[in-house]
Chain A
Amino acid sequence: MSRRVALEASHAVAEATRMADVDVISAYPITPQTHIPERLAEMVAYGDLDAAYIPVESEHSAMSACLGAAAVGARTFTATAGQGLELMHEVVYVASAMRYPVIMAVANRALSAPLSVWGDHSDAMAVRDTGWIQVFCQNSQEAFDLTIWAFRVGEDPQVLLPVMVHLDGFTLSHVTEPVLLPEQSEVDRFLPRYHYRFALNPDQPMTHGAFGPPEIYAETKLAQAVVFDNCKKTILQGWQEFRDIFGRHYNPVEEYRTENAETLLLTIGSFTETAKIVVDARREKGEAVGLISLRLWRPFPFEEFRRAVRGAKTLIVFERAISFGLGGPVVAEVRSALYDEETRPKVASIIGGLGGRDMSEEDFEYVIDRGREVAEKGSDRVLETVGIRGESEALKR
């Protein structure tokens, strides 16, 4: 039996973490992530959650304390955003390489300079290669569900990898929506108690984090790549179990009205919901427009993605980050995923929603129209963007 309650997405993440019976939370507040650690600290203070809350002095220490806690076998959670994720950057790699299943919510935020506390995906793109399982949420329910799921998958003995749950800063993190909260017993059935076989303790004096001379570093990295490749099975199994218990289903690539679609729009994160409205409108008009959304970002869901775009003529990738000198980081991956396909759609890249710039329905109308044009004729612009003043004058030299 689920209860329907109004919850801000940040609070949904905190609630999921509470229901997961987390042991250690170590976090440093940063806009727009603050509501997550605040709520967790409150739960601990009120006795609603039996956990240690470590009020660290930086994000670097937030993740470092998570590593220490994970090393002794604690279920561990942190949350950050933007600059915070950048400050902890080097520690993020260590969590995955040492196979500590730290769960981290990221309220996606733009990167300085200039300073911006508002949302985009620059922070997420900067940690693409850190070896974390990464998923994106579109609404508060998903923020709750995927946080619970993250513990289940990350801590699986076959996996033991950290998981990042991305939710857009403000446009999702601060949005209050109805959320179905399950019974504790259902969560307990889905999420077994964490038992870490290699926990540091005086009875088994192991060495965690020995260094890798050239004769062995490469072997450690291949071992890590193999584990990361294998984790996909558990990811899918986790979603299957989730559906069996909670009735909601998740896919590596979410599809919306893709049947016989000639034009596909690809989105990531909470703007997907706005894009859906525009797709509906186009379908009303009789246009064969559909939408796909990347739920699973790492490991990249090659198979599901290729299947989803099969048959489409045009694929328009809308994304919220710039890779300077390259274009869009997502579109670069999408193109490479399609390169070996015999038939593949033409791909257009449009960047928008940077640093909290909103995306209206009209903006997505433009994305679809301009995307088709660009896919057909190419572009003479430095970047194809939406909603940026003077964008049509940013021409390549």
Chain B
Amino acid sequence: MTDKLTWKDMEVGNIVKEAGNACFRRTGDWRTERPILDKDKCIKCALCWLYCPDASIKPGEDGYYEADLYYCKGCAICARICPVEAISMTEEEER
């Protein structure tokens, strides 16, 4: 998108009016490992949600918290802090 913008597209003072529009940016492609949630173990404590640096872990309808792989950079912090070891990391493979 950026390389299509001309000077006419610049807002006054280069203000960005659309709050949080970085959410259109994919950061999931940085990942070498992905988190896998074992729902049988999960106690829905939300620690993974609170600690995810990428804000990629979302509360789901069913009360579980799962990583949105569009953003998840695969840091494994969630796996490390999970008190019941419900999250494991698995290698990303080219498909």
Contacts and interface: CB of A to CB of B under 8 A. Distances in A.
The reply to whether A and B meet directly (CB within 8 Å) is yes
Interface of A: 97-100, 160, 197-198, 204-210, 212-213, 215-216, 219-220, 222-223, 226
9 closest A-B pairs (Cβ-Cβ)? A99-B13, A223-B10, A222-B7, A207-B16, A223-B7, A98-B13, A205-B19, A219-B7, A215-B2
A226 B3 contact: no
Interface string B2-38: 1101111111111111010000000000000000000
A262 to B, nearest CB: 45
A198 B15 contact: yes
A208 B6 CA distance: 19
Nearest to B3: A215
A212 B14 contact: yes
Contacts of B3: 215
15 contacts: A97-B14, A99-B13, A198-B13, A198-B15, A204-B17, A206-B16, A207-B16, A209-B14, A210-B16, A215-B2, A216-B5, A220-B7, A220-B14, A222-B7, A223-B8
Contact of A160 (B13, B17, B19): B13
Nearest to B16: A207
A79 B56 CA distance: 48
Given A219-B10, A220-B10, A223-B10, A208 B15 contact: yes
Given A100-B13, A198-B13, A219 B19 contact: no
Given A209-B14, A220-B14, 5 more contacts: A198-B13, A206-B19, A208-B15, A216-B5, A220-B10
Contacts of A226: 7
Contacts of A205: 19
B24 to A, nearest CB: 14
Give the size category of B's interface with A: 10 to 19
Contacts, number: 49
A213 B14 CA distance: 12
Contacts of B5: 216, 219
A260 B5 CA distance: 51
A47 B26 CA distance: 55
Contacts of B2: 213, 215-216
B6 A97 contact: no
A208 B13 CA distance: 8
Interface string B60-89: 000000000000000000000000000000
B12 A99 contact: yes
Nearest to B11: A198
B14 A198 contact: no
Contacts of A99: 12-13
Nearest to A160: B12
Contacts of A220: 7, 10, 14
Contacts of B19: 205-207
A223 B15 CA distance: 13
A303 B95 CA distance: 65
A157 to B, nearest CB: 9
A219 B6 contact: yes
